[in-house]
């Protein structure tokens, strides 16, 4: 279980990074932006967040495994 602020911070960072990569490197990076957006919608419906699981498994950012 993680604090919502940490998940939001990671999501925002991923979105901004993928937008920058899509703009300056290759447009295919915009697919990663779409993936993050779909994942946010999915986690709001199902309450399952893969990033939360990964952070909890490794004990990063103050998260703990469920």
CA distance 20 to 63: 28
pTM reported for the whole predicted model = 0.83
pLDDT value at position 41?
A: 95
Q: Hey, how many other C-beta atoms are within 10 angstroms of the C-beta on 43?
A: 16
Summarize pLDDT for 1-35 with one digit per residue, the tens: 777 888 899 999 999 999 999 999 999 999 999 99
pLDDT value at position 24?
A: 98
Summarize pLDDT for 46-60 with one digit per residue, the tens: 989 888 888 888 887
> With bands split at pLDDT 50, 70 and 90, how would you rate the model's confidence at 61?
confident
């Amino acid at each position: 279980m993680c604090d919502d602020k940490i998940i939001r911070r990671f999501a925002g960072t991923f979105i901004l990074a993928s937008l920058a990569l899509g703009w300056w490197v290759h447009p295919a990076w915009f697919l990663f932006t779409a993936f993050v957006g779909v994942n946010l919608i999915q986690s709001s419906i199902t309450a399952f967040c893969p990033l939360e699981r990964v952070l909890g498994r490794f004990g990063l950012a103050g998260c703990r495994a469920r």
